[in-house]
Amino acid sequence: FAYYTFPLLPPLLAIALAMATRQVLLALFAGVWIGGLMATGYNPLSATTQTVAWYVENATDSWNASILLYDFVLGAFMGLLYASGSVHSAARAIARKVKSALGASFAGWLLGLAIFFDDYGNTVIVGNTIRPVSDRVRVSRELLSYIVDSTAAPVAGLALVSSWIGYEVGLIKDSFDGLRELATKGIISIAPTIEAYGAWLSSVPFRFYSILAILLVLTVVITRRHFGPMLKAEHRAIKEGKVLRDGAKPLVPTEEVIGTKPIAKKYAPGWVFAISISVLVAITLLGMWVTGAADPSKWWETPFTEALMNADTATALFWAGMATYFTALAGVIITKSLSFSQAMDYTIKGMYLMVFPNAILLHAWCIKSATDAVGTADYVVHGAAVAGLPAILVPLLIFLVSMFISFTTGTSWGTFGVMMPIAIPMAWRLALMQFPGNLDIIYTITFASIASVFAGGIFGDHCSPISDTTIMSSMFSAADHIDHVNTQIPYAALAASVGIVLYLLFAAGVTNPIILLPIGVVLLIIFHYVLSSLYAKKVGLPPKVPNYVMGASGKEME
């Protein structure tokens, strides 16, 4: 038993240590080193050498390096905005319309839906834009990071135009091509005739977890009913005015590094912040267009939607980050809110904000290398594939396995890459054998299986403390990372549980998503109400958190 469970040891050890000790770097390093130990035949010296090699490999990877540099540049940008007071001016402008905790939370949800083109860009823009406002109306950082996280990957994964869709469609195409090759060899009688993008579109209504996760955020925001650690966090924020718990360590310790108030005697106007964020969005989209074009020198000749499918998101984000920083620098100098010397000082301080988050990101990438080396994903997939379940149960099976892989490896895209080559052939071939001649059910099972890979992968993207998107949500919401994970897991588990129920109904023969999704929404609302009532009774707190509203004078904003 121990031998066969060893492939699970590195990620499980990292997750257990992170939750138990709250020392994320130590936990991740331990998982990486144990993976190195297993991969090198349990030779401690070789394990250390391999561990170092993984860190060098991941740090020098062009994609990873671009993300690390992007984070440092965004940190410099944040330093300028905070020191100059521009973000405070913008917050006050927004607060003229957003004057309550409910309003700030709802604004975060809406903005999360609006920034649909990339999950990384989503966390940066939503976290940085809403945090100053949410802090002033007593929204806990735990709730803010949950809103940011749960409207990042689910939205980008569902959007018809995003940085995700090229990768997702490519995986489907590869599996379809494999089935067509089997058909030409006579191994299977029929191959899919639908194109990969059409299959991707057809899978969207079956992505129950992603859809329910977004709707659950809206339910939580509007009702202000909570359960689990989030209930205590929100009551603390409202009653005590503490958006962070005592002893919390924000992943981006803004207040500790650059102070609680701007140094500018005259705050920079809010338009510096607004223009900078607009530049971030515009250059990110333009960068995706250019890097995804067939000929970058004539990028305008490639349709935008086609370019987005092949875009180098990391490079586009780095370009956008640099453009945004220089826009902000010009703004604070022109408005004379900061001297050039002060701007440079806070550029460095802002970059320092990103040292710890980037260290965690690097460790998270390295543990992915470790899990690849010891075969964590292959181990789980093999166990599921030999189960030989009926075709109608394949979507449920794939969803459960994808959830587990993404949680233990911390990667949604890695889970997609591992599971899609298994899910599509398994679904198509089993359905073809068990429902010969019934193309409608064969395609439906296949579409649902495609969806379950994407939905299950995004579940781990939310829950796992070693997920890069979870880390970045904590980072740009300035939340304690473990607090974010602890408060978000119950909500992610609720959405996933309802998703499991819907896949069970699918297996029972209710295969129409037009019927399944309304059932899921109703169950989600009922379960949320019941859980919030039961948990509140258990801990002796009201299930509904009061809505903090600013006074007419706005003095609470100061």
Please give the full DSSP string across 189-204, using - where no structure is assigned: S----S-HHHHHHHHG
- CA atoms lying within 13 Å on the CB side of residue 172: 27
Confidence check: pLDDT of 287 > 80: yes
What is the CB-side half-sphere exposure of residue 376 using CA atoms within 13 A? Answer: 29
Identify the band that residue 157 occupies on the pLDDT scale cut at 50, 70 and 90.
confident
Nearest by Cα to 225 from 530, 539, 488: 530
What is the phi/psi pair of residue 225, to 5°? -100, 135
Q: Is it the case that residue 148 has pLDDT exceeding 80?
A: yes
451, 203 Cβ separation under 8 angstroms: yes
For residues 86-93, give the mean pLDDT: 74
| Confidence band for 555, pLDDT divided at 50, 70 and 90 | very low
Question: Alpha-carbon distance 35 to 50, whole Å?
Answer: 9
Q: CB of 270 within 8 A of CB of 86?
A: yes
DSSP 556: G
CA dihedral defined by 402, 251, 246, 244, rounded to 10 degrees?
Answer: -80
Model confidence at 430, pLDDT cuts 50, 70, 90, reads confident
Position 4 pLDDT exceeds 90: no
The answer to whether 267 and 86 have CB atoms below 8 angstroms apart is yes
- 552 pLDDT band, cuts 50/70/90, is very low
- pLDDT at position 558 is 30
Alpha helices in 159-312 (DSSP H): 165-184, 196-203, 208-223, 229-240, 254-258, 270-292, 304-309
Q: First CA to last CA across the chain, in angstroms?
A: 60
Q: Which of 121-125, 162-166, 360-364 has the lowest mean pLDDT?
A: 162-166
Cα distance between residue 443 and residue 179, in whole Å: 13
For residue 481, what are its two tokens? Answer: 């990372």
Highest averaged pLDDT of the listed ranges 66-70, 90-94, 373-377: 66-70
Instruction: Assess whether pLDDT exceeds 70 at residue 91.
Output: no
Higher pLDDT, 177 or 53: 53
| Under 8 Å between Cβ of 129 and 285 | no
Token match 């819907």: residue?
502
- Among 113-127, 342-356, 428-442, 454-468, the range scoring the smallest mean pLDDT is 113-127
CA 555 to chain centre: 35
Gap between the Cα atoms of 444 and 393, Å rounded: 12
Residue 250's SS3 state is: strand
- 170, pLDDT greater than 70: yes
pLDDT at 2: 39
Closest Cα to residue 495, out of 226, 215, 233? 215
Range with the lowest mean pLDDT among 28-32, 96-100, 380-384, 503-507? 380-384
Q: Are 31 and 367 in contact (CB under 8 A)?
A: yes
Q: What is the pLDDT of residue 508?
A: 95
The two three-digit tokens of residue 222, written as one number: 């509007």
- How many C-beta neighbours within 10 Å does residue 361 have? 22
Percent of the chain with pLDDT over 90: 42
Are the C-beta atoms of residues 138 and 545 closer than 8 Å to each other?
A: no
pLDDT at position 381 over 60: no
Q: Is the whole model's pTM more than 0.85, yes or no?
A: no
The pLDDT, as a whole number, for residue 331 is 94
Q: Are 99 and 137 in contact (CB under 8 A)?
A: yes
| pLDDT over 50 at 312, yes or no | yes
Q: In this model, does residue 318 exceed pLDDT 70?
A: yes
Q: Quick one: DSSP state of residue 207?
A: -
- Range from 164-173, 330-339, 423-432 carrying the lowest mean pLDDT: 164-173
Structure tokens at 508: 């029972």
Mind listing the pLDDT tens digit for each residue in 434-489? 898 899 999 999 999 999 999 999 998 778 888 878 888 888 888 999 999 999 99
Model pLDDT for residues 226-273, shown as the tens digit of each residue:
999 999 999 999 999 999 999 888 876 655 666 657 788 888 898 998
Q: How confident is the model at residue 409 (pLDDT cuts 50, 70, 90)?
A: confident
Mean pLDDT of all residues in 389-397: 88
Q: How high is the pLDDT of residue 96?
A: 74
Provide the mean pLDDT of the chain.
86
What percent of the chain clears pLDDT 70, i.e. is strictly above it?
Answer: 91
Average pLDDT of 22-29?
78
Answer whether residue 219 shows pLDDT above 80: yes
Side-chain-side CA neighbours of residue 251 (13 Å): 32
336 or 114: which carries more pLDDT confidence? 336
79: nearest Cα among 318, 275, 252: 252
Compute the C-alpha angle 461/452/507, nearest 5°.
140
pLDDT at residue 382 in the model: 62
Where is average pLDDT lowest: 288-302, 323-337, 401-415?
A: 401-415
The C-alpha atoms of residue 301 and residue 369 are separated, in whole angstroms, by: 38
CA 92 – CA 80 distance, rounded (Å): 18
Residue 477 near residue 148, CB atoms below 8 Å: yes
Which residue, chain included where needed, has tokens 């500018």?
264
Mean of pLDDT values over 166-185: 83
Mean pLDDT in residue range 156-164: 74
The pLDDT value recorded for residue 556 is 43
